[in-house]
Amino acid sequence: MKEKSILHVPLLSPAWKKVAIVFFPLPVILVIGMSIARMDISPDESAQVIYGFWAIGFGLLNLSREKEEDEMIKSFRLQAFQTGFYWLIWGLGALMLINYIRFDRITSEIFTAYLVLFLLNLYVYGAFQYQKYMSTKD
């Protein structure tokens, strides 16, 4: 596959991991600031702001290169994305079941793009870190 293909995803510099870390406390501070400023923000909107920022943060972490990017890390990265999608499918199914049991219907309000992207990036990050941990454990 050519390096200039649309299927080639360039990885970010490891320095982007520091930028990604900023996206985790920032939305909490932003939501608290908005509530102190007496802006009319609903709890659902607050959650979406937090999910969105955290999705970006985990996305940046997932797309940042490791210090040593070898074939094993590339294989871990591919497996992490596959595992993340697998967990996402089952996780969304579980959320649908819980909501059906709780509300006697499947509420679509909680299934936003922000939530799904946050969960996907969280699962991918968790799977990647777990694989790295297991490879150093042996």
Count other Cβ atoms within 10 Å, centred on residue 31.
Answer: 19
Per-residue pLDDT of the chain (138 residues; tens, 9 = 90+): 566 788 888 899 999 999 999 999 999 999 999 888 877 888 888 889 999 999 999 999 999 999 888 899 999 999 999 999 999 999 888 888 888 888 777 666 677 899 999 999 999 999 999 999 999 886
The parent domain of residue 40 ranges over 16-137
Model-level pTM?
0.85
Query: What Å distances lie between residue 18 and 12, 60, 64, 80, 109, CA to CA?
Result: 12, 10, 10, 21, 33
- Is the residue at 55 inside a domain? yes
Angle at the Cα of 89 from the Cα atoms of 128 and 14, rounded to 5 degrees: 25
The answer to the question of residue 8 being in a domain is no
In-domain check, residue 88: yes
Q: Which residue has the tokens 């994305």?
A: 81
**Per the domain annotation, does 121 fall within a domain?**
yes
Number of domains in the chain: 1
1 assigned to some structural domain: no
